[in-house]
Amino acid sequence: MPENAVYKADRVANRGVTAWLPDHAVIVEGGRISDVIPQGELTAGISDTHAVHELGDVSLLPGLIEAHAHMHTAAGPDPLYTQHSAFNDSKELFIMRAVDHLRTALLSGVTTMRDLGGPTDVVFPVRDAVRAGVIPGPRLQLAGAPITTTSGHCWFFGSEADTAEEVVRAIRAQVKMGADLIKIMSTGGMFTPQANPRSAQYPVETLRAAVIEAERLNVQIVSHCLAAVGVRNCIEAGIHCLIHARWFDSDFSKGLAYDPDMAQMAADKGIWADPTTGHIMVGDVRIAAGDVPARVPHWAVSATTVSEEEHDVVLRDMRERGVRFVTGLDMGMAHGEFDKSAANAWSFVELLGFTNWEAMAASTVDTAESLRLGTETGAIRPGLSADLMAVSGDPANDIQDLFNPTDVVVEGRLVKRDGRALV
């Protein structure tokens, strides 16, 4: 049972994550936030009933929401190692790696994580172990095995389904096994040599059947999409979140085929996007510093180079049209280490024109809303789960201060205090 506690900090994020409340205290009872008040209004006897934690000169935020992880894969600077291990490692190694990754993410301030694809006999038992308190980890929302075509993107940990009928059956099977949402691969991906990222894996009719089935079963459905044709299919079908949202032309000799009208339709339909710019920026910084070799491009994009800046121009236009972004790092892919969720906000500021506060809101309250968890977590306000992260410094001034977590609370349990892991 989590303890009743008071967390006093010089800076506490307000409920909209738009400004600091100075010298406030967050009162936690039964794992939930019961009040947020100026420290001067705390009663003298509160320490008789609550553990009082003087966090001091820190910035106290809602815990980060990481919307895109693959808990079982080996993140790291070498894409070939990540790929090789995803193909070849044993189930037991996947599970042990996932356990380690969840603890790492939690101690970095991630209190909610959405896993967007892993083997069902790995990710579901690991989630059960977190829920049972056997291992530490963030609150988890799992897609289970991503649905893909035969030999399609991530077939090696996916659920292969080709026709609309097979896709509908695969969705039912994932939900039956315990999936909280559905991930479907609408195009090929860079991680899969046998797939083509520039072409659609499913026609719009199949994606529409998938959306109808997911909605019938009351689960969200999100889709990996790298090719413009796939993005278009997803938007027309009403997929709830576009993962990556890269608009590669299907013609190998061309760059992007961005369609602003389709982006407008996405905004009008309330479709979210996960641009996964964080891990790309981490990789670009390392490559520029000479720490790691340049990426080896997938065969489908090797003939025509598209710079990150070209993608970012498109993403900025999508945002200006009203598409809202979630903070998904693609944890588990190269440069997507499990302590780097803060890179999402950093990249939104550096690449996409967010203010620091907009980026902090994206990482917390906005992404919670997208995950349909807005009444459970994502803000510091009475009634919500006590999911908190304190960082040294002030990320309103320097967004990279989000990389300096000192204290972490998940569902009312203090798991890191003053830089020291308690789990």
Tokens 């989630």: give the residue. 127
Decide whether 10 or 115 has the Cβ nearer to Zn ion. Answer: 115
Return d(Cα 249, Cα 232) in angstroms, integer: 12
User: Which tokens go with 366?
Assistant: 């906005």
Least Å from the CB of residue 146 to Zn ion: 8
Decide whether 164 or 343 has the Cβ nearer to Zn ion. Answer: 343
Least Å from the CB of residue 106 to Zn ion: 20
Decide whether 24 or 183 has the Cβ nearer to Zn ion. Answer: 183
Decide whether 333 or 390 has the Cβ nearer to Zn ion. Answer: 333
Least Å from the CB of residue 184 to Zn ion: 12
Least Å from the CB of residue 6 to Zn ion: 39
Return d(Cα 223, Cα 233) in angstroms, integer: 10
- By CB under 5 A, residue 115 contacts Zn ion: no
Least Å from the CB of residue 348 to Zn ion: 18
Total residues interacting with Zn ion, rule: CB under 5 A:
1
Least Å from the CB of residue 248 to Zn ion: 16
Binding residues for Zn ion restricted to 137-196, rule: CB under 5 A: none
Binding residues for Zn ion restricted to 278-337, rule: CB under 5 A: 330
Strand residues in 156-240 grouped as ranges (E): 159-160, 181-185, 220-227
Decide whether 140 or 390 has the Cβ nearer to Zn ion. Answer: 140
From residue 417, alpha-carbon distances to 30, 340, 389 in Å are 19, 19, 10
Decide whether 104 or 356 has the Cβ nearer to Zn ion. Answer: 104
For CA atoms 30, 35, 36, 39, the dihedral sign is negative
Binding residues for Zn ion restricted to 328-387, rule: CB under 5 A: 330
* CB-count burial class (<10 Å; 0-12, 13-18, 19+) for 71: buried
Strand partners, 269: none
Strand residues in 267-352 grouped as ranges (E): 272-274
With b meaning 16 or more CB within 10 Å and e meaning fewer, what string describes 212-249? bbbeeeebbbbbbbbbbbbbbbbbbbbbbbbbbbbbbb
Q: Which residues of the shown chain bind Zn ion in the complex (CB under 5 A)?
A: 330
